[in-house]
A = this chain, B = another copy of it.
Amino acid sequence: MNVDDIRKDFPILGQTIRGKPLVFLDSAASAQKPRAVIDAMRNAMETQYANVHRGLHWMSERTTEAYEACRDAAAALMNAESREEIVFTGNSTGALNLVAHSYGRGVLKPGQAVVISGMEHHSNIVPWQMARDAHGIELRVAPITDSGELDMTAFEALLQDGKVGLVSMTHMSNVLGTYTPAARIAALAHQYGAKVLFDGSQAIVHRAIDVRALDADFYCWTGHKLYGPTGIGVLYAKREMLEQMPPFLGGGDMISSVSYEKSTWARVPHKFEAGTPAILEGIGLKAAIDYVQAIGFEAMAAHEASLTEHAMARLSQIEGIRIFGQAQDRGGVISFALDKAHSHDVATLLDRQGIAVRAGHHCAEPLMRRLGVDSTARASFGVYTTHAEIDALADTLTRVREFFA
Contacts and interface: CB of A to CB of B under 8 A. Distances in A.
A220 to B, nearest CB: 11
A251 B356 contact: no
B26 A249 contact: no
Contacts of A41: 41-42
Contact of A47 (B11, B91, B230, B344): B11
Contact of A59 (B60, B250, B356): B356
Interface stretch (A188-196, A256-264, A302-310): A256-264
Contacts of A38: 42, 45-46
B56 A280 contact: no
A231 B229 CA distance: 10
A163 interface: no
Given A251-B122, A257-B365, A278 B230 contact: yes
A90 interface: yes
A122 B46 CA distance: 30
Given A347-B56, A360-B54, A366 B260 contact: yes
B90 A251 contact: no
Contact of A26 (B55, B251, B278): B55
Contacts of A359: 56
A279 B329 CA distance: 32
Interface residues of A, number: 93
A398 interface: no
A204 to B, nearest CB: 15
Nearest to A278: B231
Contact of A12 (B47, B92, B274, B357): B47
Given A122-B258, A126-B251, A276 B12 contact: no
Give the most central of A46, A55, A90, A255: most B CB within 10 Å: A90
Interface string A210-229: 00000000000010100001
Interface residues of chain A: helix, strand, loop or mixed (majority): mixed
Interface stretch (A16-24, A144-152, A234-242, A291-299): A16-24
Contacts of A122: 250-252, 255, 258, 263
A351 interface: yes
B281 A59 contact: no
Interface string A271-284: 00011111111000
A168 B30 CA distance: 37
Interface in A61-95: 90-94
A129 B45 contact: no
Contacts of A250: 93, 97, 100, 122-123, 125-127, 129-130
A276 B93 contact: yes
A29 interface: yes
A233 to B, nearest CB: 8
Interface of A: 11-12, 15, 17-18, 22, 24, 26, 29-30, 32-33, 37-38, 41-42, 45-51, 54-60, 90-94, 96-97, 100, 121-123, 125-127, 129-130, 139, 141, 222, 224, 229-233, 247, 249-255, 257-260, 262-263, 274-281, 344, 347-348, 350-351, 354-360, 363, 365-366, 369
Given A17-B57, A30-B279, A93-B275, 19 more contacts: A11-B46, A11-B47, A12-B47, A26-B50, A26-B55, A26-B59, A41-B42, A90-B94, A97-B274, A122-B251, A122-B255, A125-B250, A129-B263, A130-B247, A222-B276, A230-B231, A251-B363, A257-B365, A260-B366
5 contacts: A12-B45, A12-B47, A54-B360, A56-B344, A129-B260
